[in-house]
């Protein structure tokens, strides 16, 4: 963003200019800036003089080529340099003169590049901080969130998961028929139109029948086999299968079962609790898990209440959010999400995911930006501030999480501007906590 500090730091002998401002939307302004010929020519003189000092032109000593030769060799490059210089020397001055609180970066439309002996005119579109009139912040009406009861007791589910993880894998008795829950050791080979395909063959592969980790239908066709049996069957690759050459294709697989194993789960008793935890009894282990479940649900309810209050705040205090700011934040969020895939997604699948995210995430991004713009206004009204001690305490938490010395994190945060984000986050927490404490809650 173009902060006031940055504008104040831009001090120079700027060229003369004629400025007109057009209001193109609630938070959009179009600046038309016209720079007279004398200042355009002065900029060309400065640029050509600069080029002349370092130019290496055949037949002339360094710095001794005449202006006419410099112009011949560097005319196009000079026009680009002059454009950049004139914009740099006038745009921020124009923004400052109009007292515009600009958010994001200006969008330039330079038209034709500057020419010697001519007036230069360019247009810059900017988005400004919206005017916010706080209408309702206290007593926001919110339905108290209630978490649904889980279909399966989370403690029982976790204990079953632990038993699965600590199960012994044993060979089945001779003649056992394969069923869901068995581990099948088999060879398989897949064919498309009678021809083997890449990645469709394996030997001594171990398949967990019923776990759903293979192509839909594959594991179902492994049920009912006895060691030594062979079977041939057809399955269809799903449309979202990672290998594009296989998506939606029907394949024939030939399998041969070499081995069949079963899991033997440990008894759910005090000995098991000792093996998987620091507790002496199963009852103590259950009690600890119950505490964690209760704390987790309390945190989820608190988070949902916070979100509900923020939704109510944004709905009660509408204002236009700068569109470019939304696009920028949305783009940043999608880029971070794509980085998690490390560039491994097929191009078509990546495009589809980006399209889906763009549509699904836009409302949340707009809401988050609305909150970010509302927070300073509410903080000012409620006289809320963040102290240096609070910032330092949060930096200490970050240092502990990253395993770095506090002094190092503190120094880095000041250098990369993270300290402003930390302060902003703390202020947002204070504001939202106040709104939650003052909200009017109902159960329906």
Mean pLDDT, residues 414-419 taken together: 88
Pairing between strand 102-109 and 183-192?
A: unpaired
pLDDT band for position 123 (cuts 50, 70, 90):
very high
**Structural tokens at position 294:** 């209760």
51-91: per-residue pLDDT in tens? 877 777 776 767 677 788 877 877 888 899 999 999 999 99
pLDDT band for position 4 (cuts 50, 70, 90):
very low
DSSP class per residue in 180-244: TT-EEEEEEEEEETTEEEEEEEEEEEEEETTS--SSTTTGGGGTT--TT-EEEEEEE--TT-SSG
350-390: per-residue pLDDT in tens? 889 999 999 999 999 999 999 999 999 999 999 999 999 99
pLDDT band for position 329 (cuts 50, 70, 90):
very high
Is the pLDDT assigned to residue 93 strictly greater than 50? yes
- More confident site: 57 or 96: 96
Mean pLDDT, residues 290-297 taken together: 96
pLDDT (0 to 100) of residue 38: 93
pLDDT band for position 5 (cuts 50, 70, 90):
very low
**Structural tokens at position 289:** 């898990």
Q: What's the rounded Cα separation, in Å, for the pair 22 and 32? A: 8
- More confident site: 151 or 53: 151
pLDDT (0 to 100) of residue 2: 38
* Helical packing angle, 282-316 and 418-438, nearest 10°: 90
DSSP class per residue in 154-181: HHHHHHHHHHHHT-EEEEPPTTPPP-TT
pLDDT band for position 327 (cuts 50, 70, 90):
very high
pLDDT (0 to 100) of residue 15: 77
Q: What's the rounded Cα separation, in Å, for the pair 58 and 399? A: 58
Mean pLDDT, residues 105-121 taken together: 90
- More confident site: 104 or 227: 227
Mean pLDDT, residues 39-50 taken together: 90
Is the pLDDT assigned to residue 9 strictly greater than 50? no
Mean pLDDT, residues 146-151 taken together: 89
Q: What's the rounded Cα separation, in Å, for the pair 354 and 350? A: 6
Is the pLDDT assigned to residue 310 strictly greater than 70? yes
Nearest 5°: CA angle at 90, between 89 and 92? 95
Which candidate, 310, 326, 420, 377, places its Cα nearest to that of 27? 326
Instruction: Give me the half-sphere count of Cα atoms (radius 13 Å) on the Cβ side of residue 416.
Output: 9
156-176: per-residue pLDDT in tens? 999 999 999 999 999 999 999
Q: Which of 205-209, 309-313, 417-421 comes out lowest in average pLDDT?
A: 417-421
Distances, alpha carbon 312 to alpha carbons 274, 306, 309, 333, in Å: 48, 10, 5, 24
Q: What's the mean pLDDT when you consider all of the chain?
A: 90
Q: What's the rounded Cα separation, in Å, for the pair 418 and 377? A: 22
Beta strands in 242-327 (DSSP E): 250-264
**Structural tokens at position 354:** 């980006």
pLDDT band for position 142 (cuts 50, 70, 90):
very high
Nearest 5°: CA angle at 325, between 322 and 326? 90
Is the pLDDT assigned to residue 1 strictly greater than 60? no
Distances, alpha carbon 429 to alpha carbons 300, 310, 317, 333, 387, in Å: 16, 11, 19, 21, 13
Q: Which residues of 218-235 are buried (b: 16+ CB within 10 A; e: fewer)?
A: bbebbeebebeeeeeeeb
Q: Which of 8-12, 70-74, 192-196, 411-415 comes out lowest in average pLDDT?
A: 8-12
Q: How many residues does the chain have?
A: 444
pLDDT (0 to 100) of residue 7: 37
pLDDT band for position 14 (cuts 50, 70, 90):
low
């Amino acid at each position: 963003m173009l902060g006031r500090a940055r504008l104040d730091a831009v001090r120079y002998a700027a060229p003369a200019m004629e400025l007109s401002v057009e209001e193109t939307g609630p938070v959009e302004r179009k600046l038309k800036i016209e720079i007279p010929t004398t200042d355009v020519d002065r900029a060309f003189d400065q640029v050509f003089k600069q080029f002349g000092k370092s130019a290496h032109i055949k037949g002339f000593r360094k710095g001794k080529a005449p202006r006419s030769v410099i112009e011949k060799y560097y005319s196009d490059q000079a026009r680009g340099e002059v454009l950049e210089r004139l914009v740099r020397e006038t745009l921020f001055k124009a923004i400052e003169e109009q007292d515009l609180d600009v958010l994001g970066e200006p969008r330039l439309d330079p038209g034709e590049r500057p020419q010697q002996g001519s007036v230069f005119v360019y247009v810059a579109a900017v988005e400004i901080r919206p005017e916010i009139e706080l209408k309702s912040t206290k007593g926001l009406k919110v339905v108290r969130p209630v978490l649904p009861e889980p279909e399966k007791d989370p403690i029982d589910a976790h204990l079953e998961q632990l038993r699965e993880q600590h199960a012994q894998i044993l060979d089945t008795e001779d003649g056992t028929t394969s069923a869901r829950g068995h581990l099948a050791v088999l060879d398989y080979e897949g064919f498309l139109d009678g021809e083997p395909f890449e990645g469709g063959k394996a030997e001594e592969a171990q398949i967990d029948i019923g776990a759903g980790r293979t192509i839909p239908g594959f594991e179902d066709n492994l049920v009912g086999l006895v060691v030594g049996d062979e079977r041939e069957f057809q399955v269809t690759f799903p449309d979202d299968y990672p290998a594009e050459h296989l998506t939606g294709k029907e394949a024939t697989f030939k399998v041969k079962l070499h081995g069949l194993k079963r899991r033997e789960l440990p008894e759910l008793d005090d000995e098991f609790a000792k093996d998987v935890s620091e507790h002496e009894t199963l009852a103590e282990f259950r009690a600890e898990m119950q505490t964690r479940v209760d704390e987790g649900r309390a945190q989820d309810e608190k988070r949902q209440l916070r979100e509900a209050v923020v939704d109510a705040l944004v709905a009660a205090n509408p204002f236009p959010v700068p569109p470019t700011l939304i696009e920028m934040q949305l783009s940043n969020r999608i880029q971070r999400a794509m980085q998690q895939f490390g560039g491994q997604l097929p191009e078509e699948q990546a495009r589809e995911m980006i399209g889906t995210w763009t549509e699904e995430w836009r409302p949340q991004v707009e809401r988050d930006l609305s909150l970010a713009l509302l927070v300073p206004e509410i903080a000012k009204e409620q006289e809320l501030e963040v102290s240096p001690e609070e910032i330092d305490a949060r930096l200490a938490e970050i240092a502990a999480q990253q395993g770095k010395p506090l002094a190092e994190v503190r120094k880095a945060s000041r250098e990369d501007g993270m300290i402003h984000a930390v302060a902003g986050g703390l202020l947002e927490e204070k504001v939202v906590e106040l709104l939650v404490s003052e909200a009017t809650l109902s159960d329906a």
